[in-house]
Amino acid sequence: MYSRAYVERILAATPTETERAERTARAVAYVRAHLREDLTEDDVRDARERRAAITAGQVGSRR
């Protein structure tokens, strides 16, 4: 069984939707500024869809 303090630490360390959106925006801005100026919103959407598919186990396999 988990202690209350442990659960509180986990919850405090978990980013909110707003925080995740801000991190994503900063990351996209960085990539555009330093790595790939032509990065489009379609590229970002495709990457999100691919990540979701990987997370859902729809892409790739474990060996």
pLDDT in tens, 5-53: 999 999 999 999 999 999 999 999 999 999 999 999 999 999 999 999 9
60 in a structural domain: no
The CA distances from residue 40 to 25, 35, 36, 53, 59, in Å, are 13, 13, 9, 20, 23
What is residue 50's predicted lDDT score, i.e. its pLDDT?
94
62 in a structural domain: no
Number of structural domains in the chain: 1
Distance between CA atoms of residues 9 and 15, nearest Å: 12
What is residue 62's predicted lDDT score, i.e. its pLDDT?
63
18 in a structural domain: yes
Which residues have a Cβ under 8 Å from the Cβ of 31 and sit 6 or more positions away? 39
What is residue 8's predicted lDDT score, i.e. its pLDDT?
93
What is residue 2's predicted lDDT score, i.e. its pLDDT?
83
Domain extent, residue 39, equals: 4-55
Tell me if the pTM is above 0.95.
Answer: no
25 in a structural domain: yes
23 in a structural domain: yes
What is residue 60's predicted lDDT score, i.e. its pLDDT?
75
